[in-house]
Copies of this chain bind each other. A is one copy, B any other.
Amino acid sequence: MTIDPLNDIPDIADIHLAHARIRSQVLRTPVLTSPSLDEYLGCSLFCKCENLQRTGAFKFRGASNAVKLLEESGIQGDVATHSSGNHGAALALAARLAGRTAHVVMPSNSSVLKVEAVRGFGGEVHFCEPTHESRRAGLEKLVAAGHIPVHPYDEAAIIAGQGTAALELEQDVPELEQLVTPLGGGGLISGTVIATRAWGVDVFGVEPEGAADTVASLEAGRIVDDYRPDTIADGLRAIVGQRNFRVIRENVREVLTVDDREIREAMVLFWRHCRLLIEPSSATVIAALRRYPDRFAGRKVGAILSGGNIHPADWVTLTGDGSPG
């Protein structure tokens, strides 16, 4: 697999190679079950806990694969990206572990938590105006300075890395019938469907109603990029990538949508049953299982919990779920 030729899409072999490449530094995250949540949802749920992954999100898989591919290819230099979220922190750590620096363009209105995460993992933050143009311009400047761009999702190495979560899930729970993942830019779900084609599970994606650009794009038959995201699921606001869209269109069973109220309720539901805090993007999959019982009733369902980077105080504010005292 080469780094990033246009339209290059990984296959199952690339995902196995990615897994061999990254598994020494990526956590093999646990698969959790909850009999009480199963009873509530009416299906048998197996949660792949990428919220417990290093840097708190699956993004570390793709970033690790991308940086390790640079190592293998003998390509020197620092890496660069733009990110207001988990990809920036993931790339920062992956780069540091390889003795490199990640330069991360972040909008000036990014949360302190996210900025501190990037810096905490050794990344260098470059602030820009909170617009797409400013982010792109910031990244172009870094690339012009010789840094190597690593896209958050529309890149073969990233897609292959994200697919390793599903690979592990297949090894751990081969009897699964369905798999559900959040859908933002499409890195996770495209890696997932490539990893699981031979396995034969049905893969569902979930988008927030306020950022359902992929649903719109599937209807239109082309990527619809003239939209303004409006959702609490901050990890899913990106526009679906070109490679990702191709893979999704051909392989994903269905893209479901949930609204912000359902996402909030799913966060509380998951804490009550499983004692885990998950960020809104992760909670979309739990919300979808609850909203679309006809799809999942009685089935063995895998869910990839994408991330857990939400401070407990923010969790309380967002969900409105106070202590019963």
Query: Which A positions have Cβ atoms within 8 angstroms of B?
Result: 25, 27, 30-36, 49, 51-52, 54, 56, 111-113, 116, 271, 274-277, 308-309, 311-317, 321-325
Nearest to A27 among chain B residues (CB) is B33
Q: What is the predominant secondary structure among interface residues of chain A facing chain B?
A: mixed
Copies in the complex: 2
Establish whether residues A325 and B54, one from each chain, have CB atoms under 8 Å apart when the complex forms.
no
Query: Which residues on B sit within 8 Å (CB–CB) of A315?
Result: 312
Q: A27-B33, A30-B30, A111-B324 are in contact. Are A312 and B277 (CB under 8 A)?
A: yes
A sample of 12 cross-chain residue pairs with beta-carbon separation below 8 angstroms, ordered by A number, consists of A30-B49, A35-B54, A36-B54, A52-B276, A111-B325, A112-B324, A113-B325, A277-B277, A277-B312, A313-B316, A313-B321, A316-B316
The distance from the CB of A222 to the nearest CB of chain B, in whole angstroms, is 38
Closest to A93 in B: B36
In the complex, the answer to whether B56 meets A275 with C-beta atoms within 8 Å is yes
Q: Give complex CA distance A321, B30 in Å.
A: 27
A51 to B325, Cβ gap below 8 A? no
- The docked-state distance in angstroms from the alpha carbon of A111 to that of B324 is 8
Q: Tell me if B308 and A323 are in contact (CB < 8 A).
A: no
